[in-house]
């Protein structure tokens, strides 16, 4: 060994092996996991592999007396100068690239940094020229200094320590300036990850600065020692201590770089790291530590190479078994997290449940998605808080936002602003201001073929980390599925409820018709027939019979008038707007004191081009809105009731109906006999034909209903 102190030799070998395994893992991970292999990716990956090669030769040097190595192998000492020169410059270029100065806008700061990199490149060439020329001179005249023949490069090139000191300090200075200049110029996850990775990179650069100072000091000290012809044996222990300090610092630097890579993907080019990469990094650290310490112990204790090989083989098999076990545990955890998403949503139970059927009277959210939503927030994302907010056409069906933790609530006034923010962005996630959005920092837009259908708002993670790209994609897919489930469950439940109501109304109408005809009309007709038969030709009896028959006619006419009349033929002939005008001037002529029509150009034509089934459903929904306004919108202060109808054309047909009520009567709808289910049922029918019905309250207390059809 180079020193002869057992524990020191052991530590040097262990650190050398650790510094081989860690950069190999990091370099291959960067190259294999890179999404786009750009210049910076290749630089970082091969830089790590070059560092591993340097420490591979370093470990070989430690295994025997340096001066006793064969001459051919000793020549590789000069090859070791390649990473010594190239790695500091590569780190400076990598930090310049990672800080995004390479693609940044042209400016004075960017120009200065590029000029500094070019100057560093010239210095690197100068150092390389000095080393190569000294090596060639040494090859021509290798003798003359005995034991110091290997160090005559320092004597032949006295300017090397000064040039190399200037070079390495300049490299570290440029890298340090680039790291300190990293800032979050936007709210993207990649930019935030770059900013959060800055402390790791700063610590790594400072460690490299310390190693550089150590190397420079050692070089000057060694130069003076060689000039003074100090005994070579007296240099071993100080060199070993310096070597141990440098190797330990570099090992710590590799650990810091690895943490930044697996936590924030600083070099792989992905937006965020893959889930589970951090666990593999911990396994790599454990393997490097055990393998390095075990191999160093085997060499120090003089264990034969055969047993050392067997030990390392057993160690590799043990780690492979451990990896398989951890993979099995991960698979079990994955299946446990997957069960809430593939389990039954109990759609049938929610569909046939008619108790508390009105959405506003039910508990927040939908029980069919409550379990998977909790699993998504707690197990998959690890979020402190989250909201699943339906937006767009599905909002009237999906209902109120889901909240995590349970019991939370989202301010409904945030919905329009949130929809406006997400409509302008096509990104996977949109950053939010926590103070404006109830503590949420990210919004994931949920889309379908019909556009924006919802948003998943996320707070900070429980471990204060960043959401990975996989987590964002899983959250988006799960959120879209949950919104569809909420809307589909509510639509199916409303349709079942509508069918039950139609069946009940049909049974009531049938029973009423039978009762009236059997208990009232038929007995009176029979009595009239008997009276006419018994009266003969008497004028008084005949007049009475005629009057009775007239009353019966009126009764039957009233019954027929009360029965629902089909409007399909009228809607097909006059269109939605024409039919609404007809009922407002006919049966509802006394409902409103004033009706204001705002029909934009093209609206009449768009209404006439609706499919027959869509037009009929649209008309019934609009009539229900008008009837609700007639029943519940009238002011208590006697203000005339006015309704404003606005029609718009374009890609589809849209109708907005707004009254001037103040909401005081609507709060007593149950007392007035209203069930509150009419609009919900008609909204469901609108969704069935591809349209939507949205009702909102204005600041003045009036109601505005917006109907839209494709």
Token code pair at residue 471 = 């987590």
Would you state the pLDDT for residue 187?
A: 61
User: 158-176, pLDDT tens digit by residue?
Assistant: 677 778 888 888 888 888 8
Alpha carbon separation from 447 to 121, 601, 670, 684 (Å, rounded): 50, 31, 37, 20
Would you state the pLDDT for residue 252?
A: 93
Alpha carbon separation from 161 to 7, 167, 219 (Å, rounded): 31, 10, 6
For tokens 């790590």, name the residue. Answer: 48
Q: What is the mean pLDDT of residues 435-449?
A: 85
Note if the bond before 405 is cis, omega within 30 degrees: yes
User: 661-696, pLDDT tens digit by residue?
Assistant: 875 544 444 334 445 567 877 887 888 777 888 888
Q: Is the pTM of this model over 0.85?
A: no
Would you state the pLDDT for residue 667?
A: 44
Return all residues near 14 (Cβ < 8 A) that are at least 6 apart: 292, 293, 295, 296
Helix axes 160-180, 189-227, angle to 10 degrees: 160
Its sign, for the CA torsion 283, 289, 290, 292, is positive
Instruction: Mean pLDDT check: name the lowest of 94-108, 173-187, 203-217, 628-642.
Output: 94-108
* Distance between CA atoms of residues 148 and 136, nearest Å: 17
Q: What is the DSSP string of 181-234?
A: T----S--HHHHHHHHHHHHHHHHHHHHHHHHHHHHHHHHHHHHHHHTT--THH
Its sign, for the CA torsion 173, 174, 175, 179, is positive
What CATH number does the domain located at 568-709 have? 3.30.565.10
Over the chain, what is the mean pLDDT?
76
Would you state the pLDDT for residue 145?
A: 45
Three-class SS string for 63-125?
Answer: CCCHHHCCHHHHCHHHHCHHHHHHHHHHHHHHHHHHCCCCCCCCCHHHHHHHHHHHHHHHHHH
User: 637-669, pLDDT tens digit by residue?
Assistant: 778 888 999 999 887 899 999 988 875 544 444
Would you state the pLDDT for residue 345?
A: 59
Q: What is the mean pLDDT of residues 73-85?
A: 66
Would you state the pLDDT for residue 670?
A: 38
Whole-number percent of the chain with pLDDT over 90 = 5
Q: What is the mean pLDDT of residues 612-634?
A: 86
CATH superfamily assigned to domain 352-490: GAF domain (3.30.450.40)
**Residue 518 burial class via C-beta count within 10 angstroms: exposed 0-12, middle 13-18, buried 19 and up:** exposed
User: 212-232, pLDDT tens digit by residue?
Assistant: 888 888 777 777 776 666 665
Q: Which of 33-37, 107-111, 606-610, 660-664 has the highest mean pLDDT?
A: 606-610
User: 495-519, pLDDT tens digit by residue?
Assistant: 777 776 776 666 666 667 767 766 7
Instruction: Mean pLDDT check: name the lowest of 184-193, 461-470, 471-480, 681-690.
Output: 184-193
Whole-number percent of the chain with pLDDT over 70 = 74
User: Would you list the domain boundaries of the chain?
Assistant: 6-303, 352-490, 497-562, 568-709
Check whether 148 has a pLDDT greater than 60.
Answer: no
Q: What is the mean pLDDT of residues 52-64?
A: 77
Q: With CA atoms as reference, report the closest residue to 695 among 687, 684, 683.
A: 683
Instruction: Mean pLDDT check: name the lowest of 156-160, 247-251, 376-380.
Output: 156-160
Q: What is the mean pLDDT of residues 350-369?
A: 49
User: 533-563, pLDDT tens digit by residue?
Assistant: 666 555 676 677 777 777 776 676 666 556 5
């Amino acid at each position: 060994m180079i020193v002869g102190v057992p524990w020191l030799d052991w530590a040097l070998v262990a650190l050398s092996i650790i510094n081989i395994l860690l950069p190999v893992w990091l370099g291959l991970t960067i190259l294999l996991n890179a999404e786009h292999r750009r210049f910076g990716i290749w630089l970082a990956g091969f830089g790590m592999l070059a560092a591993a090669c340097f420490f591979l030769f370093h470990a070989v040097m430690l295994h025997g007396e340096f001066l006793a190595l064969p001459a051919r192998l000793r020549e590789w000492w000069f090859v070791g100068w390649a990473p010594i020169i190239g790695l500091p410059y590569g780190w400076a270029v990598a930090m310049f690239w990672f800080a995004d100065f390479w693609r940044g806008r042209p400016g004075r700061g960017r120009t200065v940094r590029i000029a500094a990199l070019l100057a560093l490149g010239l210095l690197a060439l100068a150092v390389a020229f000095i080393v190569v020329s000294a090596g060639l001179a040494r090859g021509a005249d290798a003798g003359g200094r005995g034991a110091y023949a290997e160090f005559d490069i320092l004597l032949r090139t006295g300017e090397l320590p000064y040039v190399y000191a200037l070079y390495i300090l300049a490299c570290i200075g440029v890298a340090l300036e680039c790291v300190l200049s990293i800032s979050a110029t936007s709210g993207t996850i990649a930019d935030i990850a770059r900013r959060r990775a800055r402390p790791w990179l700063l610590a790594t650069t400072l460690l490299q600065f310390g190693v550089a100072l150590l190397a420079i000091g050692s070089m000057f000290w060694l130069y003076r020692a060689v000039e003074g012809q100090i005994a070579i044996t007296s240099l071993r222990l100080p060199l070993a201590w310096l070597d141990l300090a440098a190797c330990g610092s570099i090992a710590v630097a590799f650990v810091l770089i690895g943490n930044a890579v697996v936590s924030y993907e600083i070099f792989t080019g992905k937006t965020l790291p893959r889930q589970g990469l951090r666990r593999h990094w911990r396994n790599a650290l454990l393997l490097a530590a055990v393998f390095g310490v075990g191999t160093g112990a085997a060499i120090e204790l003089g264990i034969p190479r055969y047993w050392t090989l067997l030990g390392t083989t057993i160690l590799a098999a043990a780690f492979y078994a451990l990896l398989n076990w951890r993979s099995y545990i991960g698979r079990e955890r994955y299946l446990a997290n997957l069960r809430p998403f593939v389990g039954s949503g109990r759609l049938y139970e929610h569909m046939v449940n008619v108790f508390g059927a009105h959405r506003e009277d039910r508990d927040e959210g939908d029980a069919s998605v409550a379990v998977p939503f909790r699993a998504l927030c707690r197990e998959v994302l690890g979020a402190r808080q989250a909201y699943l907010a339906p937006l767009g056409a599905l909002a009237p069906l999906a209902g109120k936002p889901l909240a995590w933790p349970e019991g939370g609530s989202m301010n409904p006034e945030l919905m329009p602003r949130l929809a406006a923010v997400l409509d302008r962005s096509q990104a996977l996630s949109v950053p939010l201001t926590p103070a404006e959005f109830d503590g949420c920092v990210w919004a994931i837009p949920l889309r379908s073929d019909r556009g924006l259908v919802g948003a998943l708002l996320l707070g900070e993670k429980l471990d204060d980390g960043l959401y990975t790209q996989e987590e964002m994609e899983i959250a988006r897919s799960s959120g879209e599925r949950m919104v569809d489930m909420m809307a589909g469950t509510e639509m199916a439940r409303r349709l079942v409820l509508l069918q039950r109501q139609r069946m009940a109304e049909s049974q009531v109408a049938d029973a009423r018709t039978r009762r009236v005809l059997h208990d009232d009309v038929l007995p009176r007709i029979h009595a009239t027939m008997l009276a006419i038969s018994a009266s003969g030709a008497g004028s008084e009896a005949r007049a009475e019979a005629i009057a009775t028959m007239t009353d019966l006619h009126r009764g039957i006419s009233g019954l027929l008038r009360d029965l629902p009349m089909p409007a399909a033929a009228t809607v097909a002939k006059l269109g939605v707007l024409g039919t609404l005008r007809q009922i407002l001037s006919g049966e509802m002529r006394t409902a409103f004191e004033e009706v204001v029509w705002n029909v934009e150009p093209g609206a009449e034509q768009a209404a006439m081009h609706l499919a027959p089934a869509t037009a009929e459903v649209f008309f019934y929904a609009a009539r229900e809105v008008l009837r609700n306004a007639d029943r519940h919108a009238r002011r208590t202060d006697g203000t005339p009731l006015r309704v404003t109808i606005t029609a718009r054309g374009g890609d589809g047909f849209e109708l907005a109906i707004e009254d001037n009520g103040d909401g005081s009567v609507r709060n007593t709808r149950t007392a007035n006999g209203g069930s509150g289910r009419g609009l919900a049922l008609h909204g469901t029918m609108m969704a069935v034909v591809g349209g939507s019905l949205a009702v909102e309250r204005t600041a003045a207390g009036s109601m505005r209903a917006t109907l839209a059809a494709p």
